[in-house]
């Protein structure tokens, strides 16, 4: 019979909750990487609140992301995004999914670094294109050649996303597989940082 207090008897989710404490998990990456889908699943598994920063921005501004971009421009939008993310990260633990440009902004990135563990969902061009090309609400892709625009965003942003605490490969497998990899990576990362600080 297994002793229920032994680490093996605890589920992956329970072990993650134990090491996470009050910290937030923050998903970063490009549009189509699966930040909301995986974020929601991880939140459900951990029994924690899930917040999508774009949804939260739309709620507080009473405008869609596309309308905000069109009305105020990207600079104003990023300033609002930083304020919303800062507020969301207070009082964790929560699971936060951020817009593709959030982590690129220095101020927002500092808020994320202070307020949680950042997880980059990294996907290759074909995977991202397959996912975003079915939807029409991406302001940054309203260009002559959206696939080329997406590739340019990858070239510009991937070196910055690489600064995230953890990187998980987002690919076409079941969401459960990716979310389990996220939990395992969080446990390994926090156990390692506990050792180095202890």
pLDDT truncated to tens, each residue of the chain (198 aa)?
444 445 556 899 999 999 999 999 999 999 999 999 999 999 999 999 999 999 999 999 999 998 998 999 989 999 999 999 999 999 889 999 999 999 999 999 999 999 999 999 999 999 999 888 876 666 667 778 889 989 999 999 999 999 999 999 999 999 999 999 999 999 999 988 766 655
CB of 160 within 8 A of CB of 30? Answer: no
Q: What is the pLDDT of residue 198?
A: 52
C-alpha torsion angle, residues 167, 15, 114, 160 (rounded to 10): 0
* Beta-carbon count within 10 A of 58 CB: 17
- Which pLDDT score is estimated for 2? 41
- What phi and psi values does residue 197 have, to the nearest 5 degrees? -90, -20
* pTM for this entry: 0.91
pLDDT score recorded for residue 4 = 45
Quote the pLDDT of residue 136.
60
Instruction: Tell me the pairing of strands 50-52 and 95-97.
Output: parallel
Specify the residue for token string 């953890």: 166
Per-residue pLDDT at 144: 82
**By three-state DSSP, how is residue 6 classified?**
coil
Q: 18-191 has which fold?
A: Rossmann fold (3.40.50)
C-alpha distance from residue 147 to each of 5, 32, 36, 70, 74 (Å): 51, 12, 21, 21, 21
Tokens of 111: 């808020």
């Amino acid at each position: 019979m297994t002793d229920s207090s032994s680490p093996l008897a605890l589920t992956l989710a329970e072990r993650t909750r134990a090491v996470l404490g009050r910290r937030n998990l923050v998903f970063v990456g490009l549009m189509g990487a699966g930040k909301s889908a995986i974020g929601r699943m991880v939140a459900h598994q951990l029994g924690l609140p899930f917040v999508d920063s774009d949804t939260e921005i739309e709620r507080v501004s009473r405008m869609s992301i596309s309308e905000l971009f069109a009305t105020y421009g990207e600079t104003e939008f990023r300033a609002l995004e930083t304020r919303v993310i800062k507020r969301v990260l207070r009082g964790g633990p929560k699971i936060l999914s951020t817009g593709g440009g959030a982590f690129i902004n220095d101020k927002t990135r500092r808020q994320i670094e202070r307020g949680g563990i950042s997880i980059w969902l990294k996907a290759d061009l074909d995977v991202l294109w397959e996912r975003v090309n079915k939807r029409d609400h991406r302001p940054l892709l309203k260009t002559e050649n959206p696939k080329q625009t997406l590739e340019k965003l990858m070239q510009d942003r991937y070196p910055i996303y690489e600064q995230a605490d953890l990187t998980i490969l987002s690919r076409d497998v079941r969401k459960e597989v990716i979310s389990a990899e996220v939990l395992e990576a969080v446990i390994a990362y926090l156990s390692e940082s506990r050792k180095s600080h202890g």
